A and B are shown apart, each in its own frame.
Chain A
Amino acid sequence: MKQILIIGNSAAGISCAEAIREYDQTSKIVMLSDEDTPSYYRCLISYYLAGDVKKNNLMYKPQKFYSDKNIELVLNKKVIRVNTKKNRVSCEDKSQYDYDILVIASGARAHIPDIKGVRKKSVFVFRSLKDIKEIESLLPITKTACVLGGGLVGIKAAYALRRRNVEVKVLVKSNQILSQVLDAEAASLVQKRLEENGIEILLGQDADEIIGEGDIRAVKITSGKIFGCSLVVLGKGVEPAVDCVEESDIKVNYGIVGNEFLQSSVPNVFTAGDVCESLDICRGKNAVNAIWPVAVEQGRCAGLNISGHATVYPGSFGMNSTDFFGLPVVSLGLHRIEKDDQGLEECKVFDAAQGTYKKIIIRGDRIVGAIFVGAIGSSGIFTRLIKEQVDISSLRDKLLEDSFGYPDISGLIQEKEQSYV
């Protein structure tokens, strides 16, 4: 019997297993996870810490899912090596698993910055339920916290801590928050909203050292200034979890390189999700787009290919949406034009009275990026225009109008099913 082994029991791994089972009831599927909990909605951990989501709504697939689909789930199994010659993986506890097909859906890990004192007690990353539970256990004695990094995860951590009545300072190295997904204008609107809700943000401040013993902590920044706090959260980005394949011949660039079938450089090894580097439509080259919908889609595509239904992965792009204390924000694809980007143009409208901001980035006659702050209702249509690389030359004047809607693009796209007759 064919054995399919999946490393990682989260968005990508699960959606892969589900897709395989749509067509293949007989192969054995084994999923390995180094976590001690069944699957959960990783993106909800900040909402859980904030108290917005209860524990039972955090859980993703119940045990019944695995038994119904005849999937064997093994928790507390950390794969440390993949031997592609023997088709075998080795785990930390010395156990081994053979496979005919391997799926690496090991996701991402929090980046630990090279700062003195970063390994001290009360310094946390913000990636897993375990991290959140540890932070939560300290909340009764936590009055102040410092978040290092102003990316989405750092800001979400700050939001959660603030909701639990902790005084929060966010130290951001660059001169704006969310520099990976927003431009300066959008970021300043978000920053204002965060500050109005009691989150302190310090731009252009890089942590130099985390000092203090026992329960007292402080963060020293490069200028020598010191901020006292009892808890530190690291929000310095994530990196693909590629450790277990490092000694193998599976090609790793930044993430594990997946081809148009999400197959790695070794034909019986597939990859999907935050660990996978594949075509980015907006950048026109390979990238890791570490977001939930991409993990689900890629997992599914890999699963279909494994079950013999050849499916080309059309490529992905970054897309993020978040609500910051009632301010909805969406960012799609490219968010700013870098100096060496040729042939890109930008259109934007800022409505000070409404507090809304919209921007699109165009290459030729195709949209390759967009930002929406305050008014996000039409953002899904832009997602589509980007995904399908629709020629928007006839739409240029309308794109940023409030009245812009699906009917404006319906003549330019192909629908499987007509709903207007």
Chain B
Amino acid sequence: MPNILMPALSPTMEEGKLSKWLVKEGDTVSPGDVLAEIETDKATMEVESVDSGVVNQLLVAEGTDNVKVNTPIAIVLGEGEKAEDIEVAKTVPEPAEAPVVAAENGVDPAAEKTAAAPKFEPASDPDLPADVEMVEMTVRQALNEAMAEELRRDKDVFIIGEEVAEYQGAYKITQNLLQEFGPERVVDTPITEHGFAGLAVGAAFAGLKPIVEFMTWNFAMQAIDQIINSAAKQLYMSGGQVTAPIVFRGPNGVASRVGAQHSQDYSAWYSHVPGLTVIAPYSAADAKGLLKAAIRSPNPVIFLENEVLYGSTGEVPKVDDFVLPIGKARIARAGADVTIVSFSMGMRYATQATEKLVAAGVDVELIDLRTLRPLDMDTVIASVKKTGRLVTVEEGWPQGGIGAEISAQVNEQAFDYLDAPVIRVTGKDVPMPYAANLEKLALPHVDDVIAAVNAVTYRS
């Protein structure tokens, strides 16, 4: 039987007072017998015997203050044990202190912890046949096709959300899905975001592949606990056992004239969270290829669409199975003078600014991030090394935004290549106002992007 050690009442307790012995030397004790009372400034506790034996020696006197946790306080001998066998154990070091001691001895305690985070290597976009037919369609149609194709391909995929079935989607993204796949796979819910998001995560734990539509991402704030605490962390918490293959999607960002509670950009919020994949496409082709990839992903994916972009059109390749790689930025225009990085709706401002700048003789390189987590910094860094100048564009708030993150990483990885400080073009640092004039002021503009490019290229 081991020594009786001074116990800890809480993980943070370092020492305490041995206030009272309830046994004396020579007593016979059985499991559950109270041996002593100890106390700290916060609590008191009884020390119980775990085994049976005879109290051989009390090592610490009653009333002793500042007894360190894990100090031997008594020796209890089990059957056949002799006091001499125990002697060595009296000098047992204090395990709780061990790491600190090691550090003081010049060993870096962080060394074994800081194995580098593994680097994510995204695939490249698939090569398309040279004569591939391109079909013009809206982002809305592209998203709808992506879901229809994946619902056809995998019977574990289903879609759930408010007004997704009979109403055909509040923004008509799920048009005709109910008709083709029926009410078991296209499920209308009550207005209970926290509940149905949690339900869908649970269904994903059990092997289904839910697509959760939020009418807008504003309402997903009701459900953000299930998204982050349940979906994002599950794989890690379960040591890799339980996966949550789920897509949360819906319109994100600024919508026109709907005021503070219905108009904001969640890109930075979700991109902050390890365990999530965050996708925010701009073009119709990317919307289709990336939504299909998201649905096939074994990870929880946040898929941020944009209401304003739903009606915009683009060319989508007509191939059997058009799936794009997650985590790969797209160089929308190659150039040598300045890098503009954006995503989703920001790309509209960035694209228009680029057209004007190119016309004015500035050779812009425009990068569409497409995925916000994992962030394709390799593409951004390579570009900055070439141009030496960087402007980021997003609709969201500046503090802790996507631009802030990119700027920080460029600072760390390519500082010496910069010829000018990075400039972020963002939404203003205010809740979204309703009045038309104020709303316009709150948003980033094409002219803001041009002004930023002029500033980093010292053209103004």
Q: Is chain B a partner of chain A in the same complex?
A: no
| Contacts from B to A (Cβ < 8 Å) | none
**Which A residues fall within an 8 A CB radius of B?**
none
